Amino acid sequence: MEVHALHGSDGNRSFKFTNQGYLVFDGLVFKYGHGIGNKGNEALTGNCNNIVIRNCSFTKCRSSIFFNNGTYSANYVTVYNNTFENCMGNIKCYGTESQYWDIYNNSVYECGYTHGTNKWVNSGDAEGVGLQRHKYTHIHHNSFIGGDTKPIMLWGHSGYAYNNVFIYNNFIRDTGRVGIYVAGQTGCNFCGVWIYNNILVRPSASGLSIASGNGIAVQQGSAGSAMNYILNNTLVAANGQRGIRVEPVPGSGATNMYWTVRNNIVYCEGSFDTYSMTYISRSQLVSSNNLIDEDGKWYYETYPHQRSLSFMKGIGQESNSIIGNPLFKSPGGSSPLDYQITSTSPAKRAGVSVGLSVDYVGRPWRNPPSIGAFEVSPHTGLRMSKKLEMER
Do 49 and 107 share a structural domain? yes
Nearest to 295 by CA among 351, 246, 237, 244: 237
Q: Are residues 154 and 99 in the same domain?
A: no
Q: What is the DSSP letter of 374?
A: S
Instruction: Report the phi/psi class of residue 129: left, alpha or beta, with left for phi > 0 and alpha for psi in -120 to 50.
Output: beta
Domain boundary among 276, 301, 323: 323
90 and 145 fall within a common domain: no
Mean pLDDT score, 115-127:
55
Do 190 and 86 share a domain, yes or no?
Answer: no
Its domain, for residue 304, covers 141-323
b/e burial code for range 7-33 (CB count within 10 A of at least 16 → b): ebeeeebbbebeebeeeebeebebbbb
Specify the higher pLDDT residue, 350 or 239.
350
Residues 35, 53, single domain; the answer is yes
Of the three residues 132, 155, 177, the one that is the final residue of a domain is 132
In degrees to the nearest 10, what's the CA dihedral of 246, 182, 159, 132? 180
Q: What is the pTM of this model?
A: 0.89
pLDDT > 90 in the chain, percent: 36
Total number of domains constituting the chain: 2
pLDDT digits (tens, 9 = 90+) for 200-220: 998 875 433 334 567 888 888
Assigned domain for 26 exists: yes
User: Measuring CA to CA, how many Å separate 281 from each of 176, 213, 223, 335?
Assistant: 29, 21, 17, 36
Averaged pLDDT of the chain: 80
Domain boundary among 268, 292, 323: 323
Q: Evaluate whether residue 278 is within a structural domain.
A: yes
**In this model, does residue 187 exceed pLDDT 50?**
yes
